[in-house]
Structure 1
Amino acid sequence: MRIHRYPEEKELLNQKLSRRKKLYDRSLVQSVTDIFNQVAESGDEAILHLTEKFDHVQLDTLRISEEYIRKCVGQIPDELLRAIHHARRNIEEVNRYLLPEDMKTVKIREGTVIGEKTTPLASVGLWVPARKGPLISTALMLVGAAKVAGVKRIVVGMAPNARGEADPATVAASNLAGATDIVVGNGVGVIAGFSMGTETIPEVDGIFGPGPGGIAAAMSVAFSYGKKTVLGIGPTDSAIICDETADPEILAYDMINEGEHGPDSSSILATTSMEVAEGVCRHLDEYLKKGPERGSILQTVFSEEGLGAVIHCESLEDAMDVINEYAPEHMIIKCKKNNEEAVLSGIRNAGEILVGEYAPFTAGNYAIGITAVLPTNGYAKSVSGITSKDMVKTSTIGILDREALHRLLPTIREIGKWEGLPSHVLAVEKRFE
């Protein structure tokens, strides 16, 4: 594996990573819109047809029965059950800390009180893309955030596996975390169902979850239906920034950690040490020669055409420039203390920042309790990960007494006059006649 030099090879590096920035295009949005129209016209029947067409599975119903849910929970081994409950408790603890208070007000000036009221969404639809295997952690994080926020109806959707079933472990985790309903079917079709309601799938107020371009496009179309959502959550990506004190072998395993998700995953490292960069490349090559499980995926990610890269930077500032431009979903800082503080301060664009030798990606993915449902494809420049804060909405509050309103009257008159809205002014003046 070659080492890229920054800033000398900046343009070459940008070219290598450029396709990561495109999560979906307009033609895909149009295709997704057509699917939404089919669901609007035919409801459950359309989603069942879409599932057969795109997921190659025939379903009799979209709803997961209580009997199947109980069976899934009952089959969970004790060790996994303990792990699920441990992760669930940590996720709930973190989300309680992040959740805004129900009501806050302050007397900001004489006769004037302002504030904000926080209200949970009444219902949410949570997409967990568990078609290829269990996604226990994603289910726990999304459902846990909604539960802590106070959402009353929490509907989890997932694609069927090859047997035409919802993944048992993901079903169990969703139920144990607090899901009230679970449905199965084609991803875009289910999100369309969340957006407008069908015979089986309830219309909800918010729709959240990760997935490839089609799912991301479906979230953008759902927004046009007035649904709260978070955009830009697609194929996973990660970045590590380090100095000469980092262990190259551990760094290589951290890069593999996120690279193994899929051939479209992106995993980069930016370091100020050429010795570290060379060591990481050597350990990556040695690992891949062993023919590991998911080795073909890793071979793709860390090939010349893939979205993996080891980058030697002339300075820590250059390394931070690389990371801020890349805007990773997941990020690790491995530096000596003074550099660690400088990097933590200087990084503006990252969905998650893990600091130090003992905060690996896996801990964030599974057990710390912080969200791992994060913006990808550079969306971390403007978007944050999904937490309890996304499962609520706020209303601003303003309270005035007579004298406070009277002090505002000259300002109201002047702005109302210039905007050509006389009744705006009259509605205030009438109060003082």
Structure 2
Amino acid sequence: MLRRLDLTTLPDEHELRALLPRPAVDVDRALPAAQELIADVRERGAEALAAQAERFDGVRPAELRVPAAALQEALAALDPAVRAALETAIERVRIGSAAQVPPPTAVEPAPGAAVELRWQPVDRVGLYVPGGKAVYPSSVVMNVVAAQAAGVRSIAVASPAQAEHDGLPHPTILAACALLGVDEVYAMGGAGAVGAFAHGVPGIGLAPVDVVTGPGNVFVAAAKRAVAGSVRVDSEAGPTEILVIADGTADAELIAADLVSQAEHDELASAVLVTDDAALADRVDEAVARRAAATAASARVGASLAGEQSAIVLVADLDAAARVSDAYAPEHLEIMTADDDAVLARIRHAGAIFLGAHTPVSLGDYAAGSNHVLPTGGQARRVAGLGAATFLRPQQVVRYDRAALAAVRADVVALAAAEGLPAHGEAIEARFEAGEA
């Protein structure tokens, strides 16, 4: 079922990146349409958002801001088992997110001189939760808990209107918001929602935010790119990816189950196995075909696994497997080998890494305590996944006494003169005009 890619002889890194399987997703092509939708929201506000919901979601919301009563009704009606699962996820992600908040640090470059680094949260964030082929209360948890751990005071959530729910977002999304104490929730989706967060919509009381985060389709990714000059955004999270590094000791059934689990998300989802064992590759291929045919979303899974973005990659050894993984920079990396830590030591680029037979990606999707909003499309080479740090800004606090300033007085004056900025030096000298130190 999965195509084979023989990389037992590795090319150089540039050529390797070009050979690796990727979905045909082009954010640049989606950018003009996203910009048009955002411009419409800026010009027409709530009317544009309602029209976009009618056009893309098949329903015109009676109210774009979800009434508080609807949030509480959704929570009251939530399946107790789902509520318990969400509470477990919230507790674990809260622990994981709290650990991401750096403590203040201070250094003393010289006696009487101090530079402190403290971390300040942004004031307001807009968190996007996709609709589409599935319901994602777990994305509510990942976005909201990370922002709360950072200390953000004002949190707004947007999720597409649902025709089957009278123009409100899915009730499980609403229940998750209520469970987390978020009462500013909007029935809006896609690029328009990102634009509304970035620029505000006075007609519905939606104030602009400082940061926009959350996964979505290619138009959401394009909208983030379009508003990046106005707000901070997280990574352009596109179709999900899993890359598994495995050797002959790995369980083919577990690998197949994990590949299928990620293929379930989307026809463009990427499922990649990198192995140095051809016999394991054969066993995985057989297990994937069987599991894909039997799973509920078999058509979607089959399309993902048969697509150009999914493959089994054969390599000469595990060192080569690590090189392939780093060139790919996967959103999710699983390692199932005789010595997982030895392979991990060779890895540099991945959104999140899952070690061993009992740590599947689906655990990270819900209740590992990690965050599942992660960079895709090779972005893990340069950006991090969502976390408390996404909503924090490092801020330097500088404190010098007179003696410490005197010690660098001549240096600052000399550099100011060299740069043609004499008033900079004069600001130093002014501190000593009343008497030499």
TM interval, short-chain normalised: over 0.9
Q: Does 1:318 align with 2:323?
A: no
5+ residue gaps, structure 1, are none
Q: Counterparts of 1:40 and 1:357 in 2: how far apart (Å)? A: 49
Match of residue 80 from structure 1:
82
Q: Counterparts of 1:24 and 1:320 in 2: how far apart (Å)? A: 28
For 2:21, what is the secondary structure of its paired residue?
Answer: helix
For 1:98, what is the secondary structure of its paired residue?
Answer: coil
Query: Where do residues 252-401 of structure 1 align in structure 2 (5 Å cutoff)?
Result: 252-288=256-292, 290-303=293-306, 305-337=307-339, 340-401=340-401
Match of residue 155 from structure 1:
156
For 1:74, what is the secondary structure of its paired residue?
Answer: helix
Cα contact 1:95–1:388 (8 A) shared by 2:
yes
Q: Counterparts of 1:179 and 1:420 in 2: how far apart (Å)? A: 52
Match of residue 49 from structure 2:
47
Cα contact 2:235–2:385 (8 A) shared by 1:
no
The amino acid of 2:313's aligned partner reads I
Cα contact 2:9–2:316 (8 A) shared by 1:
no
Query: Where do residues 143-182 of structure 1 align in structure 2 (5 Å cutoff)?
Result: 143-163=144-164, 164-182=167-185
Match of residue 136 from structure 1:
137
User: Which of these residues, 180, 186, 189, is aligned with residue 186 of structure 1?
Assistant: 189
Q: Does 1:213 align with 2:218?
A: yes
Superposed CA offset, 1:148-187 (max 9, x none):
2221111110011232221001111122123231101132
Match of residue 66 from structure 1:
68
Provide TM-score, normalisation by structure 1: 0.93
User: Which of these residues, 30, 33, 46, is aligned with residue 31 of structure 1?
Assistant: 33
Provide TM-score, normalisation by structure 2: 0.92
Cα contact 1:130–1:170 (8 A) shared by 2:
no
Cα contact 2:315–2:321 (8 A) shared by 1:
yes
The amino acid of 1:119's aligned partner reads Q
Of stretches 157-166 and 250-259 in structure 1, the one that deviates more from structure 2 is 157-166
Cα contact 1:3–1:278 (8 A) shared by 2:
no
Shift of 1:23: 4.5
Shift of 1:13: 8.5
Superposed CA offset, 1:271-310 (max 9, x none):
121111111111112233x35321112222222x431111
Q: Counterparts of 2:152 and 2:217 in 1: how far apart (Å)? A: 26
Match of residue 112 from structure 1:
113
Q: Counterparts of 1:281 and 1:162 in 2: how far apart (Å)? A: 39
Cα contact 2:4–2:314 (8 A) shared by 1:
yes
Q: Counterparts of 1:18 and 1:130 in 2: how far apart (Å)? A: 23
The RMSD of aligned alpha carbons is 1.9
Q: Counterparts of 2:253 and 2:391 in 1: how far apart (Å)? A: 40
Distance 1:9 1:184, change over 3 A: same
For 2:233, what is the secondary structure of its paired residue?
Answer: coil
5+ residue gaps, structure 2, are none
Superposed CA offset, 1:178-224 (max 9, x none):
32311011321121111121122221121111112111111122221
Shift of 1:18: 4.5
Q: Counterparts of 1:137 and 1:23 in 2: how far apart (Å)? A: 26
Distance 1:410 1:354, change over 3 A: same
For 2:163, what is the secondary structure of its paired residue?
Answer: coil
Q: Counterparts of 1:382 and 1:12 in 2: how far apart (Å)? A: 18
Shift of 1:387: 0.9
The amino acid of 1:133's aligned partner reads A
Cα contact 1:133–1:167 (8 A) shared by 2:
no
Shift of 1:89: 0.6
Q: Percent identity?
A: 28
Query: How many residues get paired?
Result: 425
Cα contact 1:4–1:13 (8 A) shared by 2:
no
User: Which of these residues, 183, 191, 196, is aligned with residue 199 of structure 2?
Assistant: 196
For 2:215, what is the secondary structure of its paired residue?
Answer: coil
Q: Does 1:239 align with 2:240?
A: no
The amino acid of 1:255's aligned partner reads L
The amino acid of 2:95's aligned partner reads E
